């Protein structure tokens, strides 16, 4: 048993030396960019066959056989191809990378010198969408759908910030940080978002969101409305007074100038019986006679 373990350790050490480095490769690429997964280097003369495949049995398989100079593709996206000529450098190229490409890949090389393996782990990084907003009492910094989750900090630093996280099915994370600034005397507040794909700094001008400004924005229209209401009230009172005055005048009897008699009126007057002068002057009052100009 001890001898078997020693032989396996020696073979592993020899394999690492033949590969010229580690037999496990870790690659991190931002979504939408190009990912290149390398294979162990072998000379063109000794290369017999190279195969790229993922860990699952039904996933992508990309192979090249040098003696036939043929390439075989099985269940592979068109975004996956050889970076260079497979007989000179059989590196795998994926462009553009998306979250579905994340996983483990294996490069197998058969040559006259032996068989070699290189395992690669591909991690896809997604930069978050960053926003900084506020309501009347709180500043809100949000880093949406990032992978991994972004780190959020504030300037000036505060121990009273509150954070929330939402994990999405595709592996991305939305992180939100809240901080109150009602009693702050500083003119601005700054949100710092740190992420492997991007670092962003957003600032909020507190002078445009202060309670004093909100009071002015609310009190200004109210003052205008109050003045307008008083003005309309005065107009209505004046109009009512004038209408009452006109109604009082219309109730006082008045006499008009004599109009020229028409034939019809003369005929009507001829039919009427004569009226004595006593009846005419019975209700006479000179103070209530008005001339209509």
**Residue 203 included in any domain:** yes
37-41, 214-218, 267-271, range with greatest mean pLDDT: 37-41
Asked whether residue 224 is domain-assigned, the answer is no
Alpha carbons 90 and 25: distance in angstroms, whole number: 15
Mean pLDDT of 23-30: 90
* CATH code for the domain of 142: 2.60.40.10
In the prediction, which pLDDT does 175 show?
97
Summarize the confidence of residues 160-177 as an average pLDDT.
Answer: 94
Q: pLDDT tens for residues 52-74?
A: 998 775 688 999 999 888 999 99
Number of domains within the chain? 2
Q: At 239, is the pLDDT very low, low, confident or very high (cuts 50, 70, 90)?
A: low
Q: Which residues lie across from 203 on neighbouring strands? A: 190
Q: What is the mean pLDDT of residues 226-247?
A: 53
**Mean pLDDT along residues 32-43:** 91
In a domain, 217, yes or no: no
Q: Looking at the structure, tell me whether residues 94 and 115 fall in a common domain.
A: yes
**174 and 146, same structural domain?**
yes
* pLDDT tens-digit readout, 127-136: 999 999 988 7
Q: What are phi and psi of 242, to 5 degrees?
A: -65, -40
User: Looking at the structure, do residues 164 and 99 belong to the same domain, yes or no?
Assistant: no
Looking at the structure, tell me whether residues 118 and 141 fall in a common domain. Answer: no
Whether the per-residue pLDDT at 201 is higher than 80: the answer is yes
The more confident residue out of 216 and 267 is 267
Q: Which residue has the higher pLDDT, 12 or 155?
A: 155
Arithmetic mean of pLDDT, 115-119? 92
CA–CA separation, 14 and 68 (whole Å): 30
Domain span at 28: 18-125
Mean pLDDT, all residues of the chain? 74
What is the pLDDT at residue 184? 66
The pLDDT assigned to 240 comes to 56
pTM above 0.75, yes or no: no
The more confident residue out of 21 and 192 is 192
If one compares 215 and 83, the residue with the highest pLDDT of the two is: 83
- Calpha distance 224→160 (Å, rounded): 40
């Amino acid at each position: 048993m001890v001898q078997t373990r020693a032989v396996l350790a020696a073979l592993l050490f020899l394999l690492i030396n033949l590969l010229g480095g580690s037999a496990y490769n870790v690659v991190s690429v931002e979504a939408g960019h190009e990912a290149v997964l390398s294979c162990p280097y072998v000379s063109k003369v000794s290369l017999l066959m190279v195969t790229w495949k993922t860990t699952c049995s039904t996933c992508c398989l990309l192979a090249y056989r040098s003696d036939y100079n043929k390439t075989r593709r099985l269940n592979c996206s068109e975004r996956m191809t050889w970076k260079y000529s497979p007989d000179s450098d059989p590196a795998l190229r994926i462009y553009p990378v998306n979250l579905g490409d994340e996983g483990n890949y294996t490069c197998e090389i058969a040559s006259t010198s032996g068989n070699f393996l290189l395992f690669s782990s591909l991690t896809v990084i997604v930069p978050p969408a960053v926003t900084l907003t506020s309501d009347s009492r709180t500043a809100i910094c949000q880093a949406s759908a990032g992978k991994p989750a972004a780190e959020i900090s504030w300037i000036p630093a505060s121990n009273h910030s509150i954070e929330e996280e939402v994990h999405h099915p595709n592996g991305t994370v939305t992180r939100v940080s809240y901080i109150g600034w009602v009693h702050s005397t500083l003119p601005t507040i700054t949100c710092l978002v740190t992420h492997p794909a991007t670092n962003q700094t957003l600032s909020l001008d507190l002078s445009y969101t202060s309670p004093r400004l909100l009071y002015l924005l609310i009190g200004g229209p109210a003052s205008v409305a109050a003045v307008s209401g008083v003005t309309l009230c005065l107009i209505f009172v004046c109009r009512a007074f004038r209408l009452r005055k006109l109604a009082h005048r219309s109730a006082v009897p008045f006499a008009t100038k004599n109009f020229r008699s028409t034939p019809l009126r003369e005929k009507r007057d001829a039919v009427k019986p004569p009226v004595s002068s006593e009846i005419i002057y019975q209700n006479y009052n000179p103070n209530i006679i008005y001339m209509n100009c």
